[in-house]
Amino acid sequence: MNDAPNIYTVGVGDAKIARAPNQLKTLLGSCIGIALYDPIAKVGGILHVMLPKKTGNDQKLTKYADPGLPFFIGQIIKNGGASKNTLLAKIFGGAKMFETAGKLINIGEKNEQEVRRILKEEGIKIVAAKTGGTKGYNIALDTTTGNVECRIFGEAICIY
């Protein structure tokens, strides 16, 4: 939990929570970035998931949509003071990136499907989504407004 006004960067497979007036940013390729925001508590967070489901004994839950996303929702409620009833979600990324090993084709699409399934199950509304394509996403969540500034490589900035 970060309190000083600042811009915090979220790494791959990681999550961060911040309160207004802080900003959170991350870069996304095939990963999905889930920006959760509570407009009443003015608290937000970004979860950067790499894979749809956890299979092994990996302790790093935030790498995976399942169980990382339910864990992240719990954290933003418990540590950030957000309420599940007022939490809104915006999702980005899931691009079909270039192969570096030949095994990661369409992982972005699977990540997105799993994220949408979990958010529906948790009863959290997706109010904006920009996913797919073949280029990276640069997103920044402003926890004062809940706006997410999104720039896809080579394209103009859009606000969601």
Q: Which of 53, 60, 78, 120 binds another protein (CB under 8 A)?
A: 60
- Binds another protein (CB under 8 A): choice among 20, 77, 88, 104: 104
**Shortest distance in whole angstroms from residue 47 CB to another protein:** 12
Angle at 152 between CA 29 and CA 62, to 5 degrees: 35
Spatial contact of 108 and 31, defined as CB atoms under 8 Å apart: yes
* Cβ proximity to another protein, 40 vs 157, nearer residue: 157
- Cβ of residue 129: shortest distance to another protein, in angstroms? 19
* 19 is a site residue for another protein (CB under 8 A): no
**Closest among 45, 50, 9, 37 to 126, alpha carbons compared:** 37
3 part of the interface to another protein, by CB under 8 A:
no
Phi, psi of 66 (to 5 degrees): -115, 110
Neighbouring C-alpha atoms within 13 Å toward the C-beta of 79: 16
Active-site entry in 24, 31, 36, 49: 31
* Binding flag, residue 135, another protein (CB under 8 A): yes
Residues with a known catalytic role: 31
